[in-house]
Amino acid sequence: MKILLTGGLGYIGSHTAVELLNHHHEVIIVDNLANSSLSVLDRLKKITHQEIPFYQIDVANKVELEPVFLHHTFDAIIHFAGLKAVGESVAKPLEYYQNNVLATLNLASFSIKYGVHKFVFSSSATVYGDQPSPLIETMELKTTTNPYGETKAMSERILTDAAKANPPFSVSLLRYFNPIGAHESALIGENPNGIPNNLMPYITKVAKGELKELQIYGQDYPTIDGTGIRDYIHVVDLAKGHIAALNKMKSAVNIYNLGTGKGVSVLELVTAFQNVNHVRVPYKVVGRRPGDLAIVYADPGKAKRELGWETSKTIEDMCRDAWNFEKQNV
């Protein structure tokens, strides 16, 4: 298939590009470099030994986007492009709605106009809101606690309505849990700007000595050791989930959780990281982070049954690969 990857130089998009090329698909990347750099394109070439056509454009801008559809005939779109910092979305809600919702609207419109029938969307477990885990696709969505989450819920609704009204246009809404880790080459991985908000990039900076200590947000949750529980998924397993979704798209709207189904606490992750990598991660427990939920993990059964996809990498793999990437690059 010939596939357009929006946001394909970002963390998840770049890993998915590698998997697609390994499976002999043709890939075209568009990205405005808002949270990535051109060096990722060189690294993708090093890993795959292939040239990847790239356009530096803003997909929220119709005028910049349309020529890509005029120059190429795509079989599918995987839409990763978006802003994703939860805290920043609370401070700058209009930028988030403008960027993320317009990007989805533009891409859906051009997919229909230019006859692209398969559309895979990067959604998030955050759309479930505060509901008991395991989270399952049949649950009704609850209001999320931040504008970022709302842009994902809105994009899901826009794509669902568009697919219902425009057969054979079909969408897969992939709800990611907590992607961490990096490609085994250590050439691509997660490289956030500034001080990281998310747990794993913070841990790797502390392990490297660039940040003094990890702050664990709360040890009074009703969990095994009092710290928050999440469903961490290796980014390469996640990337493979996109290929499974593309290959098995069967109805107008397909919704899948991409997670492991296993909850891991903050302290368990820190301990695994230290043991696997033989490195210290000093930490102190502080108060809860506003908006955090105690326990979030997936029921991944539908993706296994319908897509034949399941994760294969362990927490140890995730910790080792995240550290290798950090040590060798950032």
Cite the active site residues. 148
Q: Is 12 in the site for ligand NAD (CB under 6 A)?
A: yes
Q: Is 223 in the site for ligand NAD (CB under 6 A)?
A: no
Q: Is 245 in the site for ligand NAD (CB under 6 A)?
A: no
Helices (H), the chain: 11-22, 39-48, 62-71, 86-91, 93-96, 102-113, 147-165, 199-208, 235-247, 266-277, 301-302, 315-328
Residue nearest ligand WQD by beta-carbon distance: 228
Nearer to ligand NAD, 206 or 239 (CB): 239
Q: Is 223 in the site for ligand WQD (CB under 6 A)?
A: no
Q: Which amino acid is at 62?
A: K
Q: Is 202 in the site for ligand WQD (CB under 6 A)?
A: yes
Long-range contacts of the stretch 271-276 (C-beta < 8 A, 24+): 272/315, 272/316, 272/319, 273/203, 273/207, 273/319, 273/322, 273/323, 276/316, 276/319, 276/320, 276/323
Residue 198 Cβ vs ligand WQD, minimum distance, rounded to whole Å: 3
Q: Is 189 in the site for ligand WQD (CB under 6 A)?
A: no
Q: How many residues form the binding site for ligand WQD (CB under 6 A)?
A: 18
Residue 55 Cβ vs ligand WQD, minimum distance, rounded to whole Å: 25
Nearer to ligand NAD, 104 or 227 (CB): 104
Q: Is 197 in the site for ligand WQD (CB under 6 A)?
A: yes
Bridge partner list, 256: 174
Q: Which amino acid is at 226?
A: G
Please state the φ and ψ torsions of residue 234, each to the nearest 5 degrees: -65, 135
Q: Is 54 in the site for ligand NAD (CB under 6 A)?
A: no
* Residue pointed to by tokens 């979704």: 245
Which residues make up the interface to ligand WQD (CB under 6 A)? Answer: 84, 86, 124, 126, 178, 197-199, 202, 214-217, 228, 230, 266, 289, 292
